[in-house]
Structure 1
Amino acid sequence: MSIAITLFLVISIFFLSYWCCIIYVEDIRKGEKMNVDYKLIGERIKKARKLKGITQDVLAEKLSVSIGYVSQVERGITKISLDLLGAISSILECDIASFISESATNSSEYMESELLSEIRKLDSKKKKYILEIIKLTNDIT
Structure 2
Amino acid sequence: MKYFDIGQRIRRYRKACGLSQEALAQKVGISVTHMSHIETGNTKLSLPVLAKIAEELSVGTDALLSDAPKPDKAKLSAEVQDILDSFEIDELPVAVEVLRALRDSLAKRRA
TM-score bracket relative to the smaller structure: 0.5 to 0.7
- 1:49: which partner in 2? 14
TM-score calculated relative to the size of structure 1: 0.48
- 1:31: which partner in 2? none
- For these two proteins, the number of residue pairs brought into alignment is 71
Counterpart Cα distance in 1 of 2:3 and 2:48: 15
Counterpart Cα distance in 2 of 1:87 and 1:71: 16
Note if 1:95 corresponds to 2:60: yes
Unaligned runs of 5+ in 2: 71-111
Counterpart Cα distance in 2 of 1:104 and 1:80: 20
For 1:65-80, what aligned pairs fall within 5 Å after superposition?
65-80=30-45
Counterpart Cα distance in 2 of 1:94 and 1:105: 15
Amino acid at match of 1:80: L
Runs of 4+ in structure 1 deviating by more than 6 angstroms, as ranges, are none
- 1:104: which partner in 2? 68
1:63 to 3, 28, 47: 28
Counterpart Cα distance in 1 of 2:48 and 2:69: 23
Counterpart Cα distance in 2 of 1:43 and 1:76: 8
Structure 1 residue 104 displacement after superposition: 1.7
Percent sequence identity over aligned pairs: 36
Unaligned runs of 5+ in 1: 1-35, 107-141
Q: Deviations over 1:58-114 (max 9, x none)?
A: 11111111101000000000001111111101000011101112x4226xxxxxxxx
